[in-house]
């Protein structure tokens, strides 16, 4: 078996242990004689998987009984629409931070809903023009806003919010690419969510943590599947949930627990630190994000002067060396190493030594 060092931004590398367990259990889960994919979502075997996945995630995030954790299909992008549909009514205002591509996508969806309903969206901070270098540090919040929305890690630019802003309004965060990757006080939020395919499991759903009292605010007039209460009241079992994805999510959370959060967070900082050190050690490379906003999950950089032909050569040779998916997002170019929780240290070491070797031959 040859596993590539997979630097993909998402869907991304999963823990090998998790994949191997899934493989073992693929055709016969725990003596049931069937795959998790084949069993009823209302039976007791699946129920145990479902409950455990939620319980371990809540434990890892330090969430108490006042929180619900639900699974919603449509990825993080569906959340961009559901949030204003549930929480932004006529005559009301929501604050949005435009920190980059993802922050802006959330903002655009909110504006659509606001236009339909006669509500307002205030851009509390805008640094999209400085993309891909930073996250905002100054904010202009609206008094009485119904909620404030941020994106904690801009996956494309590689810029991470190193401290969570204080807001009076309930705070909602898109944490798709840095959830459970570093120490964070999740109790500050009214709601946070992540498309599963970066740090949590396979693609196809968002994991949404929402305070029960906040979920109550959605209007009854919403279509059932777009209403958070449908998910919180029915434990994500109103209709058939993405059972296989939830099973892998649960196994991934158990893996995080076995690794130990502190240990994992330390390793994440160490992995990113090694690549940033390699970038900073030579004039041949330039980091994209400003040092104080550098993401530990998505490391972005260029060859000095933005030499695209040489970057192409780097990517092609890296691929041959077993270092896969290092190409920067098509909107920004350059090089990006996504090194989520499951990405191994050995892959970072391989990348750093490949960078040194490439520079020696081309510098």
Region of 44-52, 69-77, 119-127, 346-354 interacting with ligand PLP (CB under 6 A): 69-77
Taking the complex as a whole, the smallest distance from the CB of residue 337 to ligand PLP amounts, in Å, to 15
Considering only 32, 35, 77, 122, the residue that binds ligand PLP (CB under 6 A) is: 77
Residue pair 173/192 in contact (Cβ under 8 Å)? The answer is yes
Instruction: Looking at residues 78 to 137 of the shown chain, list those that interact with ligand PLP (rule: CB under 6 A).
Output: 102
Which residue's entry shows tokens 């901070």?
125
Catalytic residues: 102, 174, 198
Per-residue interface string for the shown chain with ligand PLP, residues 217-246, x marking contact by CB under 6 A: ------------------------------
- What percent of the residues of the chain are helix, what percent strand, and what percent coil, each to the nearest 5? 40, 15, 40
Q: Which is nearer to ligand PLP, 6 or 142 (CB)?
A: 6
**Burial label, 294 (beta-carbon count in 10 A; 0-12, 13-18, 19+):** buried
Beta strands in 42-126 (DSSP E): 67-73, 93-98, 120-126
For residue 97, give the nearest of 119, 132, 128, 75 by alpha carbon: 128
Taking the complex as a whole, the smallest distance from the CB of residue 76 to ligand PLP amounts, in Å, to 3
Residue nearest to ligand PLP (CB): 75
* Angle in degrees, 0-180, between the axes of helices 261-280 and 345-362, rounded to the nearest 10: 0
75 binds ligand PLP (CB under 6 A): yes
Residue pair 157/302 in contact (Cβ under 8 Å)? The answer is no
Taking the complex as a whole, the smallest distance from the CB of residue 255 to ligand PLP amounts, in Å, to 21
Taking the complex as a whole, the smallest distance from the CB of residue 63 to ligand PLP amounts, in Å, to 20
Q: What dihedral angle (degrees, nearest 10) is formed by the CA atoms of 99, 338, 344, 164?
A: 0
Region of 45-53, 71-79, 157-165, 253-261 interacting with ligand PLP (CB under 6 A): 71-79
Instruction: Looking at residues 134 to 193 of the shown chain, list those that interact with ligand PLP (rule: CB under 6 A).
Output: 151, 155, 174, 176-177
Q: Which is nearer to ligand PLP, 94 or 151 (CB)?
A: 151
Which residue's entry shows tokens 């961009």?
80
Q: Which is nearer to ligand PLP, 87 or 340 (CB)?
A: 340
State the SS3 of 216-227.
CCCCCCCCHHHC
Residues that bind ligand PLP (CB under 6 A): 10, 75-77, 102, 151, 155, 174, 176-177, 195, 198
């Amino acid at each position: 078996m040859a596993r590539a060092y997979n630097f993909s931004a998402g869907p991304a590398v999963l823990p090998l242990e998790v994949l191997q367990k899934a493989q073992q259990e693929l055709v016969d889960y725990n003596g049931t004689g069937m795959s998790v994919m084949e069993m009823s979502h209302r039976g007791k075997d699946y129920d145990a998987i479902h409950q455990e996945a939620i319980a371990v995630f809540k434990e890892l995030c330090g969430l108490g009984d006042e929180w619900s954790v639900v699974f919603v299909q449509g990825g993080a992008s569906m959340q961009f629409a559901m949030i204003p549909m549930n929480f932004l009514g006529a005559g009301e205002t929501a604050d949005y931070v435009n920190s980059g591509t993802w922050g802006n996508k959330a903002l655009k969806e909110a504006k659509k809903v606001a236009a339909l309903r006669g509500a307002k969206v205030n851009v509390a901070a805008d640094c999209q023009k400085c993309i891909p270098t930073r996250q905002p540090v100054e904010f202009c919040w609206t008094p009485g806003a119904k909620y404030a929305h941020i994106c904690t890690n801009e996956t494309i630019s590689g810029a991470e919010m190193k401290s969570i802003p204080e807001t009076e309004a309930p705070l909602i965060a898109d944490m798709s690419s840095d959830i459970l990757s570093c120490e964070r006080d999740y109790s500050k939020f009214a709601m946070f969510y992540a498309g599963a395919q970066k740090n949590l499991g396979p693609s196809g759903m968002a994991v949404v943590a929402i305070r029960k009292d906040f979920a109550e605010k959605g209007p009854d007039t919403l279509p059932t599947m777009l209403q958070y209460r449908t998910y919180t009241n029915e434990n994500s079992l109103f209709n058939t949930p993405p059972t296989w994805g939830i099973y892998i999510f649960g196994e991934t959370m158990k893996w995080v627990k076995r690794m130990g959060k502190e240990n994992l967070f330390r390793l994440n900082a160490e992995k990113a630190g090694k690549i940033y050190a390699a970038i900073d050690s030579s004039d041949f490379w330039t980091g994209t994000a400003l040092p104080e906003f550098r993401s530990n999950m998505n490391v972005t950089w260029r060859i000095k002067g933005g030499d695209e032909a040489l970057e192409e050569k780097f990517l092609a040779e890296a691929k041959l060396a077993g270092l896969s998916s290092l190409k920067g997002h098509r909107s920004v170019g350059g090089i990006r190493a996504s090194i989520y929780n499951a990405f191994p240290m050995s892959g970072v070491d391989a990348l750093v030594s490949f960078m040194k070797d490439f520079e020696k031959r081309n510098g």
